[in-house]
Amino acid sequence: MPFGQSRYADINALLNQKFAEKQVLICAHRGSWHGNVIQNTPLAYKAALMQGADIVETDTTVSVDGEVFSIHDGVEPRLFGWNRNSRKLLAEQLRSLAPLNALGEPSSHHVQPLEAVFDFLRHGELLNIDRSWRADGKVVPLLDRYPHMLKQAILKAPLSERWVLDQLDDHPVKYMFMPICYSLKDVDEVLAYQNLNTVGVELIAFTPEDELFREEAIQYIHSKGLFCWVNALTLTDVQPYKALYGGLDDDLSISETPAQGWGRLMDMGFDVIQTDWPALVKNYRTERLG
């Protein structure tokens, strides 16, 4: 069954075509950023696509003078070696910065404006746009300038940023939307927005005792015509442990077996796995699904 409302079927066609072809889709977290390839850059997205990712993820933030960049603000100490937040810098200052690579050494690369990402992804690649709420409402007007992104972009936001939902609900162009949900109540609240083109839900369950860590919750979301997205990222394994779905993560899948992590997520019914290891997930998906 296609995901999303039937009235938005044309907008959601590429997404549903990918599901029909692959069954389970793989999203690369900020692209694939290892060695001298920097996160949230076209080069990282190219690397991810070469490794078999079906979707790439970008973060967004805005400079103090209003330009939108593909960057996760808050990571400046690791990315640049200083503590100034990107939102407090001018666009010219952001462009001049040389991010540190995976070895902590200066690279010749630069922070990219979000427009550069849209320009790069012109061949039917799916893009998950995270943290658009950090760009002060400027992502949607920017998307309007890139018509090809209508069928490629999936915006994501938690219900705590309800103004994002309101903006999309009111906007005449119905970009695909995926809420970040912590409970079935969150899911129902999003579904009350009848003019949102909601296509899926990202489920967060920090422990196996959380409400969304149940196959029944996944089945309920599927019954509403929505896909289920899970983050297999390991944000930290230092207490308090930051697992985004009950410990079924990349670390477990690599340290033990893929079947114990990514396989369990597939068994539970997840349709999209976001990971830092797209090539490994692709290998497992091929072994499991053909």
Q: Mind listing the pLDDT tens digit for each residue in 52-89? A: 999 999 999 999 999 999 999 999 999 999 889 999 99
**Which listed CATH number (3.20.20.190, 3.90.180.10, 3.40.50.300, 3.50.50.60) goes with 6-289?**
3.20.20.190
Domain residue spans in the chain?
A: 6-289
- HSE of 64, CA atoms in CB hemisphere, 13 A: 9
The pLDDT value given to residue 143: 98
What are the CA-CA distances from residue 115 to residues 17, 23, 50, 80, 176 (Å)?
26, 30, 22, 22, 18
Query: Which residue shows structure tokens 């090539």?
Result: 279
Cβ count near 252 (within 10 Å): 18
Model pLDDT, residue 240 = 66
Q: How many CA atoms lie within 13 A of 83 on its CB side?
A: 0
pLDDT in tens, the chain (290 residues): 899 999 999 999 999 999 999 999 999 999 999 999 999 999 999 999 999 999 999 999 999 999 999 999 999 999 999 889 999 999 999 999 889 999 999 999 999 999 999 999 999 999 999 999 999 999 999 999 999 999 999 999 999 999 999 999 999 999 999 999 999 999 999 999 999 999 999 999 999 999 999 999 999 999 999 999 999 998 877 766 678 999 999 999 999 999 999 999 999 999 999 999 999 999 999 999 98
pTM of the model: 0.97
pLDDT in the model for residue 290:
82
Give the span between the Cα atoms of 237 and 10, in whole angstroms: 42
